[in-house]
Amino acid sequence: MTIELGINFFDTARGYTDSEEKLGAALKKHRDKVIIATKSMARDKKGMAEDIDKSLMTLGVDYLDLYQLHNVKDKGALEQVLAADGALAALKEAKEKGKIRHIGVTGHIKDILLEIMQTGEVETVQFPFNPVEVSGAGKLFELAEKMDTGVIIMKPMAGGALTNAKLTLSFILEHPVTVAIPGMDSPEQVEENAAVGSILRSLSELEREELARIVTKLGTRFCRRCEYCLPCQQGIDIPSVFLFDGYYTRYDLKDWAKERYQAMDVKPDDCLECGECEERCPYNLPIREMLKEAAERLG
C-alpha cells in the first residue's frame, strides 16, 4: 500500500526492537523500489562493523542505502565516532565494500550535528523539525545546502503531539528538506500523509493562523516519545505516562486516559527521583516534575 502511494523511504534502527526484521520481510520483494535507512548507537569501529553485518542479515538484503550514526548527542560521542578506531571508520569501510551506499548522522542537538556535518564525512543529517521545534534548524538547512547534504526530518508530528498532518507536513515541506518520516500506525494515516506529499503547496494565511494557534496551545513542555529517557530503573514507562496525560489534557479523552493509566503495572509513585531520565532527555524536560503532575491528574 505505501509503495503504491509513492512512499519509498523507510527508516529503521538496530535499537528499534524487531523493526529491521519486520521491514526486511515486507520490503525484500520491492528492493529496487525502496530506500532502506537504518542506524546504530555503536560508537567504536568494531561495534559498528558488527551492527552493519547484523542489519544486513536481519533485513535480508545485500546492501543498505543509508547507514547512520544514531543519536550523536554530545562532544564525547562525537569524538568517539570520529576517532581513528571510531564508528565512522567502519561505515567508510563498509561503503568501500558495497555493504552500504551512503553515510548519515542523526541527533537532536543541532550544534553537534553542525560540527559533524562540517567534517564533510556524512551525506545526510536527520533531526527533529516541526512547527513547534524550529530553533536552530535554519543553520542546519543552510549548511546542508552548502555541503549538498540530504535532510531527513524526524518527529515531524512532534511525537504525536501534533495531529493535523495536512497543516504540519505542508509546513515542513515548505522548507528545504529531502524527506520527512512521520510514524504511522493505521492505513488511514498512511493515506493522509501520502496525500500531502503528492501535492506540494504553500499554506494559506488562514492555515498559518490555525497552525499558530495549535503551536501556542501546545507550547514546548511536552514529551516527543523519543524514548531516550528509558529504561527507568523502576520500570516506569515514562513516554506512556505522558501519552495518556496528553490525551487527558489536550484531547479531552479523560476517562480513556485514566483507564489506561490505571492499568499500568508501574506508576510515577514508584519514582526514586534519581534523575537519570532527565540526564538522557534530549529536550531537557523536567521529567520528575512532569510525572508528578501527570499522576495528580490521572490518579
Provide CATH 3.20.20.100 ranges for the chain.
Answer: 9-211
CATH of 9-211, one of 3.30.1330.120, 1.10.540.10, 3.20.20.100, 3.40.50.720: 3.20.20.100
User: For residue range 266-283, what is the model confidence (pLDDT) as tens digits?
Assistant: 999 999 999 999 999 988
| The pLDDT value given to residue 2 | 80
pTM here? 0.83
**Lookup result for grid cell 549548511:** 143
| The pLDDT value given to residue 41 | 95
Interatomic CA distance for residues 188 and 186, integer angstroms:
5
* Spatial CB neighbours of 103, under 8 Å, sequence gap ≥ 6: 66, 67, 68, 69, 88, 91, 92, 95, 121, 122, 123, 124
User: For residue range 65-91, what is the model confidence (pLDDT) as tens digits?
Assistant: 999 999 998 899 999 999 999 999 999
What's the rounded mean pLDDT across residues 210-222? 88
